[in-house]
Amino acid sequence: MLKKFLSVVLLLVLLISIVGCTKDESASSKPNKSGSKDLSPVTFTYFNAGTPGKNMNTNETTIGKKLEEQTGDNFKVEYLAGDLNTKIGTMIASGKYPDILSPDAGIDKVLDAGGLINLTDLIEKHAPNLKKLYGPYLNRMKDNDGKIYFIPFNAPQSFVADPNITQGAFWIQRGILKEAGYPKIKTLDEYFNLIEQYQLKHPKVDGSSTIGFTALTYDWRFYALSNVPNHLAGYPNDGEVMVDMDTHKTSVYANKDETKRYLQKLNELNSKGLFDKEAFVANYDEYLAKISSGRVLGFFDYGWEVQQALDNLKAAGNDDKRYMPLPITFDGQKDQYIDPMTFINNRGIGITVSAKDPVRIIKYFDNLAKEENQKLAFWGIKDETYSVNDKGRFYQTPEQAEKTADQKYREESGLKMFEYYWPHGDGLYSDGNAWNPSKQPEVATMSYTDGDKAILKAYGATVFSDLFAKPDDRPWYPTWSASIKQGSAPQIFGTKKTDLIKKYFPKLVLSSPSEFNSLWKEYTKEFNSLDTKSFEKFMDKVVEDRINEIVTSK
């Protein structure tokens, strides 16, 4: 009997020791022989609501596997499929979250529900590389309670202009410019006059009617129309407001003369048959398809938003149907289409209350923040996806450029996985190379077609950003990234303002010219009843605080 009892005791001790070892390995607290932390494999879960993608493990990619070898960590990544609010709402209702979460537009709901843990002490104690990378921005990352709950995706270290235009521009078919002898077009009237003259000569393309000008108005992307007056006046994309460079005071412009002037111009285009009649009813996919068709002569949009259509046209091989970005303003004033150094702090990645091992996760982020791993995440594998010349400059051979442009390869290598929705920097590395290959001139020019080189030569430029003015320093930029609490006066203003412009802008553009002024009067009467003063006061404070943060950090 005693022998049997001792056997049971020994079995229990063995089981307890096994469980204890498993727990220790999961927590990564057991040192290995070299004195470093235990690298036993652990898989965490990551839900990314910011972009569509193929659900997969990070260690199924080349880069993710190398990072796993360094840390022992793998992440099972799930991307949004379906409605964001439904998915986030289900998490909140159940109280069950993935280990890490990028909630995108649902971030305020997750924060209000207490779904993300406080990262302040974790960063301070366990993440020196992360702290160094985000050092200038740590104050801006804090919530109203002084704590950090998520890490914004991008911590720029210096300004580098993207050689290609990924931000706002007025785009025009290259064939129009070629036929006109490559004129220098700076003003809105010059731009539309050129399109009008061309459409009169070329009313059809491949049997279909050409469209003089279209606009993106679908869902939340309506800003691609409503932001334009701001750009035409020589301001960057600060969202709802213009910020005076001298006084730093903000001003809502949706009811101002700049907006009236632009909408009246579109109204004039519509009366001439130059404006796309379907612009206010087409969805995003239909908009991209229309641009890809080669029927559209011009449009305003942000390069990143139409990249798919631009890539389709490039692949089709008809250079005349591809588009040229132009820095158009109302009267040729200095443009500000290229963003200044930008820190976006209203989106990011957080560790949730369901996370198995927050310390190990923050250490993974810290390891990723090392400069050599940032190069791995963005540039890939030396001599496979990029090369280095005798001066230490990174470049790509034609074969490497073709490889990294292939979406299947990007997915398998991890270049797609790690290109944005993780903590990372921007600007220049310590060796002077661009953080992101797309901003390295040697890489950009390598991908240029003969048509790209010809039109750049015609305008005396080496890269497309040469045509645009350099951005002025705006330490508050962009104000649209300010955190606005649900139910607050600024949030209520934003919602009512959006509803109002979606109601009236289609009417203002599509009405007969004789009705425009009366409709504008009706619109501004309703708009002026909104609480713009509270919103501007809030934005004034955002600008003031950000300027003070920069001064304090120096």
Residue 102 CA to residue 246 CA, distance in Å, equals: 37
Same domain, 318 and 462: yes
Q: Could you tell me if residue 158 is inside a domain?
A: no
**42-48 and 394-395 strand pairing:** unpaired
Same domain, 101 and 218: no
Question: Are the CB atoms for 426 and 156 separated by under 8 Å?
Answer: yes
Q: Which position has the token pair 């009169």?
A: 200
Q: What are phi and psi of 42, to 5 degrees?
A: -135, 135
Q: What are 382-422's pLDDT values in tens digits?
A: 999 999 999 999 999 999 999 998 989 999 999 999 999 99
Same domain, 203 and 291: yes
Question: Are the CB atoms for 211 and 297 separated by under 8 Å?
Answer: yes
Q: What are phi and psi of 107, to 5 degrees?
A: -65, -40
Q: Which three-class secondary structure string do you get for 212-261? A: CEECCCCHHHHHHHHCHHHHHCCCCCCCCEEECCCCCCEEECCCCHHHHH
Tell me, what DSSP letter sits at residue 426?
E
Q: Could you tell me if residue 429 is inside a domain?
A: no
Percent helix, strand, coil in the chain (nearest 5)?
A: 50, 15, 40
Same domain, 187 and 297: yes
Q: What are phi and psi of 97, to 5 degrees?
A: -125, 160
Residue 36 CA to residue 15 CA, distance in Å, equals: 27
Q: Could you tell me if residue 439 is inside a domain?
A: no
CA atoms within 13 A on the CB side of 130: 25
* Six token digits for residue 42: 């652990």
Same domain, 457 and 313: yes
Q: What are 103-155's pLDDT values in tens digits?
A: 998 999 999 999 999 999 999 999 999 999 999 899 889 998 999 999 999 99
* Six token digits for residue 168: 């706002």
Q: Quick one: which of 468, 399, 387, 465 has its CA closest to 433?
A: 387
Same domain, 416 and 330: no
Same domain, 254 and 283: yes
Q: Which position has the token pair 């708009």?
A: 527
Q: Which residue numbers in the chain have pLDDT < 70?
A: 1-38, 550-554
Question: Are the CB atoms for 482 and 344 separated by under 8 Å?
Answer: no
**241-243 and 250-252 strand pairing:** antiparallel
User: Cα 396 to the chain's mean position, in Å?
Assistant: 24
CA atoms within 13 A on the CB side of 401: 15
Same domain, 308 and 359: no
Q: Could you tell me if residue 157 is inside a domain?
A: no
DSSP calls for 289-306:
HHHHTT-B-EEEEEGGGS
472: CB partners within 8 A, 6+ apart: 245, 336, 340
Same domain, 173 and 295: yes
Helix axes 516-527, 257-271, angle to 10 degrees: 150
Q: Could you tell me if residue 134 is inside a domain?
A: yes
Q: Could you tell me if residue 28 is inside a domain?
A: no
Same domain, 211 and 313: yes
Residue 21 CA to residue 15 CA, distance in Å, equals: 10
Report the domain count for the chain.
2
Interior/surface letters 264-286, b for 16+ CB within 10 angstroms, e for the rest: bbbbebbeeebbbeebbebebee
Q: Could you tell me if residue 205 is inside a domain?
A: yes
Helices then strands, each counted (H, E), the chain:
22, 16
Q: What are phi and psi of 415, to 5 degrees?
A: -60, -35
Q: What pLDDT does 486 receive?
A: 83
Q: What pLDDT does 29 receive?
A: 36
pTM of the full structure? 0.81
* Six token digits for residue 496: 């009512």
Residue 170 CA to residue 23 CA, distance in Å, equals: 58
Same domain, 452 and 383: no
452: CB partners within 8 A, 6+ apart: none
Residue 59 CA to residue 547 CA, distance in Å, equals: 41
331: CB partners within 8 A, 6+ apart: 187
Q: Could you tell me if residue 18 is inside a domain?
A: no
Q: What are phi and psi of 51, to 5 degrees?
A: -155, 150
CATH number of residue 144's parent domain: 3.40.190.10
Given its phi and psi angles, is residue 171 left (phi above 0), alpha (psi -120 to 50 degrees) or beta? beta
Same domain, 457 and 396: no
Residue 216, amino acid = L
- Cα angle 446-449-455, degrees, rounded to a multiple of 5: 110
**Structural domain harbouring 53:** 42-151+350-422
The pairs formed by 489-492 with CB atoms below 8 angstroms and a separation of 24 or more are: 489/531, 489/534, 489/535, 489/538, 490/534, 490/535, 490/538, 490/539, 492/531
